[in-house]
Chains A and B, each alone.
Chain A
Amino acid sequence: MAHVATTTQPYGIMAEFDSPEALIEAARRTRLEGYRRFDCYTPFPIHGLTDAMGVREAKVPWTVFICGLIGALFGFGLQVYTSAIDYPLNVGGRDLISWPYFIPITFECMVLFAAFGAFIGMLAYNGLPAPYHPVFNVPQFARASVDRFFLCIESRDPKFDPERTRAFLQSLNPISISEVEP
C-alpha cells in the first residue's frame, strides 16, 4: 500500500461515459459509495448532475449580491460626496442631495459592480485561470468538450485506493478507465 504513495500518487482515476444519463447515474453511485472528492466533466451543463454529486453552493449569487450592494452605495455615495460635500453648489436653494436625480447612476454602478462580481467570482471560485491541470493528461479527455462525459475520483479522497476505486469504476460500466497522472 505505502509503496504506491511514495513514488507517484496519481491525480485520480477517470472513467469515460457516452451519455449524460449514464454519468448522472455514475455520479449518484459514486456518492453513495462514500466518495466525496470527485468531479464530472461534460461538454455542456447537465441539469441534475451536481445534485447527483451532492454539490450545493450559492457562492456566486451571494458575491453578486454583495458586489451589487457595494456598487450601489459607491454610486450614490460618489454623487452625494461630489454634489453636497466636496463642491456644494447652491442653485436657487435647491436640495444638494437631490436623490431622485442620483438614481440612474446609482443603478448603473450597481449593475457594473455586480456584473464584475459575477464574472470574476465565477472564475475565482473555479480556480481559473488554471494553466495546468492533470485531467488533460488523459488522451481521451479532449472529447470532454465534444461528446464524452467523464467522472474522475481524485486520489486525495480518503476512500481512494488504486485497486478498489478502479474496480468500483469498472462496475459502473464505462467506455474506458484511465489513471490520471499528476
Chain B
Amino acid sequence: MQQAIRAQAVQEAPLFEGEQTYERITAQIGDIPFEKHPIGWTVAFGLGFAGTTLLIFAIAVLLLIGLGIWGINQPVAWGFAIINFVWWIGIGHAGTLISAILLLMRQAWRMSINRFAEAMTIFAVMCAGLFPLIHTGRPWVAYWLLPLPNWLAMWPQFRSPLEWDVFAVSTYFTVSVLFWYMGLIPDLAAVRDRAKSQLAKVINGILSWGWRNSAIHWMRFESAYLLLAGLSTPLVLSVHSVVSLDFAISIVPGWHVTIFPPYFVAGAIYSGFAMVLTLVIPFRILYPKLREYITMHHIDMMAKVMLATGLIVFYGYMMEAFFGFYSANLFEKYMITNRMTGPYWPVYWALIFCNGIVIQALWFPKVRHNLFWLFIISLIVNIGMWLERFVIVVTSLHRDFTPSGWGMYGPTFWDWATYIGTLGFFVMMMFIFARFVPMLAMAELKDLWYRLYGHRGGHNGHAPAKEPTHAPTSGGGA
C-alpha cells in the first residue's frame, strides 16, 4: 500500500528529468569544472567581486576610524551588525536542514540540492560570523572571547548567551564544513578520474585523499555521514536557539519572549529555503543541464517547506502581539503598540506583508510551478526576514524604559556598504564554488537513480531495464 502510493508519487513527480545513466550523471555534473563557463557566470562573479571589494573597503574604514561610522548609538547599540548576523546565519540553516534533517527523514528529493545548499550554508555562516566580529569594535582582540589563558587571568563569562554564540556559531561552521567536505570526497575522486590535465588530476587527487571507491570505505563513509547528519540535526536547532537567547535572556520588552527559540529556528529555515530558491532558479538558467536533476518537483517541495515554515513564523508574529497585549505589562504593551503605530510602523507592516501575506500565494500549485513568480516571492521573503530582524532589534531597543533614554536609529552609508559587501562576497563564493566543485552530489544521485529505477541494461544477464516504478527502498542512508 505504502509502496504503491510512493511508486505513484515517483511517477507523478520525477526526481530526474529524462533518462539517466551513471555515465551521464557523472559527465553532466563532473565536467562542469572543465567546461567553458557561461557569460552569466563572469557577470555574476564580477558583481560579487565588486561587492567583496566594497566589503573590504568598508571594513578598512571601520578599522581606521571606528564604530562611529555606523549608525549605532545609545539606546540602539545593536544595529545592522546584529540584524545582518541573525539574517545570514538563518539563511545558512536551510542548507543543514536539507543535508542533515531530510537525510535522516529519508527524503529522496534532498539528494539533488544538498551539495548546493550546504555550500550556501558555509558561505552564509562566513558572512554571519564577520558581523559580531567587527561589531566588537576591536576585532584584533576578538580572541578574548575564547577561553585562552592570558595575563589578565580572566576567563570568558560562560553564563552569557553571547559566549554561547561564540561556541555555537564556530562549531556550526566547523561541522558544516566537515559535512560538506566529506560528502565531496568521492565526487572529487570522480573528477580526478575524469580530469584531462595533470594539474586538475593532482589537485583533485590531493583533495579527495586518494579515495578509491572501495566498498569497505563506502561502508565507513556512510556510517560517518549518517552520524554527522545525526549530529548536525540537534546542532542546527541549537545554533538558532542560542542566537534567539541572545535576545530572550535579556529583559528588553519584545525580546524577553519564551517563543523565541522555536520561532527563530522556523524563521531561519524559512529564510534559508527562500535563499536556496533565489540561487537555484538563476543557476538552472545559467547551467541548463542542472534542470535534469533539480526538477520542478524539487522546486515545488522547497516552496512547500517555505510555506509551512512561513506559517509558523507568522504564528510567531501573532503570538508576539498577543503576549504584548495580554501581558498586562505597560512596557510590553507599549512595545507592541509602538511596533505597529510608532515611528517604524512601515517596517513592521512591510514585514507582515512579506512574511504573512505574500507567501499565501504558495498555497496554489500554479504559483509553485511558475519560476518567475517563485523567484520574486523568494526575494520578498528574503527581504521580509531581514525586516523581521530589523523590527526585533531596532524597535525593541529604541524605546528604552524611560522616555529620557529614547532615541532613533538609522543606518549610514557604511552600514549599507558592509551589508551589500557581504551579499557580494556570498555571490562571489557561490560562483567560485560552481566553477571548481561538482555542484551536485554525483555519487548520491547515482545511488538514488539506482534505488529508484534499478540497474538498466545489464551485460551480465541481470535485470534488463526495469520499468521506472520502483520507489526508493526504506533501507540505506546517503
Contact = CB atoms under 8 A, between A and B. Distances in A.
Interface stretch (B1-9, B222-230, B347-355, B382-390): B222-230
Given A64-B224, A125-B220, A107 B238 contact: yes
A182 interface: no
Contacts of A44: 22, 186, 218, 443-444, 446-447, 450
A15 B147 CA distance: 55
B238 A118 contact: no
Given A83-B155, A102-B158, A40 B182 contact: no
Contacts of A27: 215
Contacts of A59: 220
A119 B228 contact: yes
A39 B215 contact: yes
A157 interface: no
Interface in A43-66: 43-47, 49-50, 53, 55, 57-61, 64
A18 B460 contact: yes
A172 to B, nearest CB: 9
B125 interface: no
A130 B208 CA distance: 10
A78 interface: yes
Given A21-B463, A125-B220, A112 B210 contact: no
B164 interface: yes
A79 interface: yes
B211 to A, nearest CB: 7
Interface in B158-208: 158-159, 161, 163-164, 167-168, 171, 174-175, 178-179, 181-182, 186, 189-190, 192-194, 206
Contacts of B193: 142-146
Interface in A113-141: 114-116, 118-119, 121-123, 125-126, 128-133, 135-136
For the residues of B in contact with A, the DSSP-based class is helix
A32 interface: no
Contacts, number: 219
Contact of B22 (A21, A43, A112, A118): A43
A41 B215 contact: yes
B215 to A, nearest CB: 4
B38 interface: no
Interface residues of A, number: 72
A43 B212 CA distance: 9
A86 B463 CA distance: 68
B153 interface: yes
A40 B214 contact: yes
Contact of A43 (B192, B222, B443): B443
B133 interface: no
B108 to A, nearest CB: 14
Given A44-B447, A50-B215, A108-B168, A18 B459 contact: yes
A170 interface: no
A18 B222 CA distance: 22
A69 to B, nearest CB: 13
B218 A115 contact: no
B222 A121 contact: no
Contacts of A129: 206, 209-210
Contacts of A126: 214, 216-217, 220-221
Interface string A30-46: 00000000011111111
A60 B227 contact: yes
A115 B159 contact: no
Contacts of A98: 159
Nearest to A75: B167
Given A43-B446, A78-B147, A111 B216 contact: no
Contact of A130 (B26, B161, B210): B210
Contacts of B223: 58, 60-61, 122
Name which of B171, B224, B444 has the most chain A CB atoms within 10 A of its CB. Answer: B224
Nearest to B458: A19
B458 A18 contact: yes
Contacts of B156: 82
A60 B224 contact: yes
B216 A55 contact: yes
Q: Which 6 A-B pairs have the closest CB atoms?
A: A147-B22, A130-B210, A82-B155, A40-B215, A22-B460, A122-B224
Given A104-B161, A133-B210, 17 more contacts: A19-B462, A20-B450, A22-B458, A22-B462, A40-B214, A43-B26, A43-B446, A45-B219, A57-B219, A60-B223, A61-B223, A98-B159, A118-B224, A118-B228, A121-B224, A122-B220, A147-B26
5 contacts: A45-B221, A75-B167, A78-B147, A119-B181, A142-B194
Interface of B: 21-23, 26, 147, 153-156, 158-159, 161, 163-164, 167-168, 171, 174-175, 178-179, 181-182, 186, 189-190, 192-194, 206, 209-224, 227-228, 231-232, 234-235, 238, 242, 245, 443-444, 446-447, 450, 455, 458-463, 473, 475-476, 478
